[in-house]
Amino acid sequence: MKKLAYILGALVLLYWIITLIAPSILDNQFNPMIEKGPYTVSEKAQTLFNDLDFVGDLHCDALLWKRNLLKRNDHGQVDIPRMLEGNMAMQAFTIVSKSPKGQNMQENTAETDNITSLVIAQGRGMDSWFSLYERAIDQCEALHGFAKKSDGKFVVVHDKAEFEAFLKARSANRQLAAGYLGVEGGHCLEGNLENVDKLWDAGVRMMGPTHFFDNELGGSAHGVSGAGLTDFGKQVVTRMNELGMIIDVAHSSEAIVDDVLAMTTKPILTSHTGVKGTLNSPRNLSDKHLKGIAATGGLIGVAFFPEAIGGTSPEVIVNTMKYVKNLVGYEYVALGSDYDGSVTTQFDCTGFNLLVEEMLKQGFTEEEIRGIMGENMKRFLLKNLP
Ligand SMILES: [Zn+2]
């Protein structure tokens, strides 16, 4: 009996040590950066960057890594001090609840999951170990927790009134930042339509039907079926429209994008994407779909990582933006970094000045730069938040 107690005690101690060490090791390993700041640009580019009223990004998975976002970290790509340092007004914080082993852009199934061992190693609450829904709720609570402990420097935005109040406060004080919650893949609904409302109550304002594998809502761009929305998927889209939850078609199969475009009553967006016109990948959008999203009054968030755009440099990112701008107009282009999404990026969220420099180099006008860096996102949210 005594021996057993010792063994159990040793195991608990070992687990506790793992939860202390593993999160930052994994975070560091999965979210590498090619260059660490400070990032220097020409005086002209820096002056324009400093003058930008609103810099915003449509996608980052920082909540997955159990990183303290109130602290300036030496790993990972986003935290609140770095947002403030980098003149960022807003970041969408998106929730990942399941990702397949051997995750790839071409073909994945739902049978395996890397996130289960990750949440256990991170020492997250046991209710989130085996429930995708609880994992999502856990990450919603984490972001609200950071806001609460930020001494008013960071707020989570849920509606237009809160967003307007934030914009007003920030016009007097640049050392303020905001975030809003999104979800990658409706599998965390666990097949229950009522969970759309529960996620809404937990603060979620954006959701993509699928992530890396086909789920109860329909086919993934990297799944097996290539299917469109299922009946359940259509019910979810309808409920999202009713609530005013923004639909994000990043990672959706082509058939889902068609279905969502056909049925949505609200503008939609893709929070982090590349385009087939510059890189022919299953994860990237065709010209037809880019035009379709723009026609809803939507947004196209351009990603920063190689699997989406073919590289990581500001030049490659801006090349992709230029393609979308020439196809549908700059008003529909936004930043969609995919920071902390297990991707390699060139720079962290203090390096957006590099994009301004590159846009100037590629002949973008000041109005276009202001729009893409955040004004388009601001306008979209003012129109589409409840
Ligand atoms: Zn993603």
Which CATH number goes with the domain that contains 345? 3.20.20.140
**Ligand 1 centre from 199 Cα, in Å?**
19
CB 209 within 8 A of CB 258: no
Q: How far apart are CA 109 and CA 100, in angstroms?
A: 7
In a domain, 53, yes or no: yes
**Ligand 1 centre from 60 Cα, in Å?**
8
Per-residue pLDDT, averaged over 154-169, amounts to 98
**Ligand 1 centre from 208 Cα, in Å?**
9
Residues forming a β-bridge with 95 = 183
Q: What's the pLDDT at 102?
A: 84
In a domain, 246, yes or no: yes
Q: pTM, whole model, 2 decimals?
A: 0.96
Q: Which residues contact 151 (CB under 8 A, 6 or more apart)?
A: none
Q: Which two tokens stand for residue 52?
A: 């930008």
In a domain, 32, yes or no: no
**Ligand 1 centre from 104 Cα, in Å?**
12
pLDDT grade for 84, boundaries at 50, 70 and 90: very high
**Ligand 1 centre from 235 Cα, in Å?**
23
- Percent with pLDDT over 70 in the chain: 100
Q: What's the pLDDT at 46?
A: 98
* Range name among 25-39, 248-262, 296-310, 350-364 with the lowest pLDDT average: 25-39
Q: What's the pLDDT at 145?
A: 98
Q: What's the pLDDT at 22?
A: 84
Per-residue pLDDT, averaged over 66-85, amounts to 96
Q: Which residues contact 95 (CB under 8 A, 6 or more apart)?
A: 61, 63, 64, 135, 136, 139, 140, 181, 182, 183, 184, 188, 204
pLDDT grade for 25, boundaries at 50, 70 and 90: confident
Q: How far apart are CA 313 and CA 34, in angstroms?
A: 10
**Ligand 1 centre from 188 Cα, in Å?**
15
pLDDT grade for 149, boundaries at 50, 70 and 90: very high
Residues forming a β-bridge with 218 = 215
Q: Which domain holds residue 92?
A: 41-384
In a domain, 173, yes or no: yes
Whether omega before 306 lies within 30 degrees of 0, making that bond cis, reads no
Residue pLDDT, tens place only, 255-289: 999 999 999 999 999 999 999 999 999 899 999 99
In a domain, 105, yes or no: yes
Give the total number of structural domains in the chain.
1
In a domain, 122, yes or no: yes
In a domain, 226, yes or no: yes
Q: How far apart are CA 152 and CA 172, in angstroms?
A: 14
Q: What's the pLDDT at 252?
A: 97
**Ligand 1 centre from 341 Cα, in Å?**
6
**Ligand 1 centre from 227 Cα, in Å?**
19
Per-residue pLDDT, averaged over 37-55, amounts to 97
**Ligand 1 centre from 349 Cα, in Å?**
17
**Ligand 1 centre from 209 Cα, in Å?**
12
pLDDT grade for 188, boundaries at 50, 70 and 90: very high
In a domain, 27, yes or no: no
Distances (CA, A) of 91 to 59, 60, 177, 307, 335: 7, 7, 8, 22, 10
